[in-house]
Amino acid sequence: MFSIGVVVVVVFLALIFDYVNGFHDTANAIATSVSTKALSPRTAIIIAATLNFLGAMSGTAVAETIGKSIVPPDMVTPLVMISALAGAIFWNLFTWRFGIPSSSSHALIGGLSGGVIAGFGVSFVNWPGVLAIFTGLIIAPLLGLVAGSLVMTLLFWVFKGTSPARLNNNFRKLQVVSACMASFAHGSNDAQKTMGIITMILISGSLIATFQVPIWVKIACAGAMASGTAVGGWRIIRTMGGKIFRIEPINGFAADFTSSLVIFGASHMGAPVSTTHVISSSIMGVGAAKRLKGVRWNIARQIVISWLVTIPSSALVAMLVYRLLVLLV
């Protein structure tokens, strides 16, 4: 059984991760609305923070997947958890600093895997569970890419011949709705991952008997993510909102609408997906439907590379932190 002090340290780090996740990933949900001036930055931040909080309170299916599928219960030690969170936090801050929309979900999974490997060995990671989660992380962006392209093509067909000025004005208003959907979806999936981490340590510390997320954990995680959202993530917004391709209101609506549906579906099934990946791929799909050559594929390539290196990078940081902590304690 862990001391209360150790549990407090792990919970604090988990909430720091949630906070960083808030300003790192939530920018994705409002990037298109800000870039098309459908929402002012201040209004977009308020909407995103509020809807993230409400989304985070909407369920715990994703929390259970994170809490039960990656790390065996007897491997949940304070050093493993602290190392895992340190690896995820470091990678989020590193990619945020350079405006790279990487995945907090990948960073967390990499951190957890790296912590267990450093503490117990490769064979102690629950690889079938990791593989199942990773499969979902791969499928979701592909769905976002295809769905974004299909929805954009459908909208072009439905509104062909409509005045561009009128079309943009109407969809600029609809973007407020799609931004709310995207923010709620983000909270419903990403905040639950931290709930799963905290619940794991509470069970391992014998503070609760079964995997049932306490209400205070829900509120704390929802509040941490909402607070992080309020800080904003303008480096990410610039990448997502304009560097992939020149977004107009109808494009922004299509991207946010399709990515929201994909993330909603994943949250309902308890699948932890990368909201960053889903929104990014939806934007790419929408841009490709508009004009294939109009997508800045060099930026898209940089994003894909960051997707591929996130898990091993955060795992490596977690392993290094574990070794350092062993030396210190």
The packing angle between helices 127-158 and 275-290, to 10°, is 30
Q: Tell me the per-residue pLDDT of 300-313, one tens digit each, with 9 for 90 and over.
A: 676 677 777 888 99
Joined tokens for residue 188: 């419903």
- Global pTM reads 0.85
Q: What is the number of structural domains in the chain?
A: 1
Q: Which amino acid is at 173?
A: K
Q: Is the pLDDT of residue 140 over 70?
A: yes
Mean pLDDT computed over every residue of the chain: 84
Query: Residue 183: how many CB atoms within 10 A of its CB?
Result: 30
Q: Is the pLDDT of residue 34 over 80?
A: no
Q: Is the pLDDT of residue 325 over 80?
A: yes
Query: Residue 4: how many CB atoms within 10 A of its CB?
Result: 10
Q: Tell me the per-residue pLDDT of 230-251, one tens digit each, with 9 for 90 and over.
A: 775 555 555 544 455 567 888 8
Report how far residue 36's alpha carbon sits from residue 85's, in angstroms, rounded to the nearest whole number: 35
What is the arithmetic mean of pLDDT over 34-43?
Answer: 78
Contact status, residue 75 vs residue 282, Cβ threshold 8 Å: no
**DSSP 8-state assignment for residue 210:** S
What is the arithmetic mean of pLDDT over 259-279?
Answer: 88
What is the arithmetic mean of pLDDT over 194-210?
Answer: 88
Who's near 209: CB < 8 A, 6+ residues apart?
203
Q: Is the pLDDT of residue 116 over 60?
A: yes
- Give me the pLDDT at residue 302, please: 67
Select the more confidently predicted residue: 171 or 23: 171
Q: Is the pLDDT of residue 142 over 50?
A: yes
Nearest partner of 105 among 25, 185, 23, 221, judged by Cα: 25
Q: Domain limits at 173? A: 4-328
CA–chain centroid gap for 194, Å, is 11
What's the Cα-to-Cα distance from 122 to each of 114, 118, 127, 220, 324, rounded to whole Å? 9, 8, 9, 32, 19
Who's near 161: CB < 8 A, 6+ residues apart?
none
Nearest partner of 26 among 49, 46, 42, 43, judged by Cα: 49
pLDDT-derived band at 112 (thresholds 50, 70, 90) equals: very high
Per-residue burial over 42-77, b if 16 or more Cβ lie within 10 Å, else e, is: eebbebbbbbbbebbbbbbbbbbbbbbbbbeeebbb
Q: Tell me the per-residue pLDDT of 74-88, one tens digit each, with 9 for 90 and over.
A: 678 889 999 999 999
- Give me the pLDDT at residue 241, please: 46
- Give me the pLDDT at residue 87, please: 93
**DSSP 8-state assignment for residue 74:** G
What is the arithmetic mean of pLDDT over 278-299?
Answer: 75
What is the arithmetic mean of pLDDT over 39-65?
Answer: 85
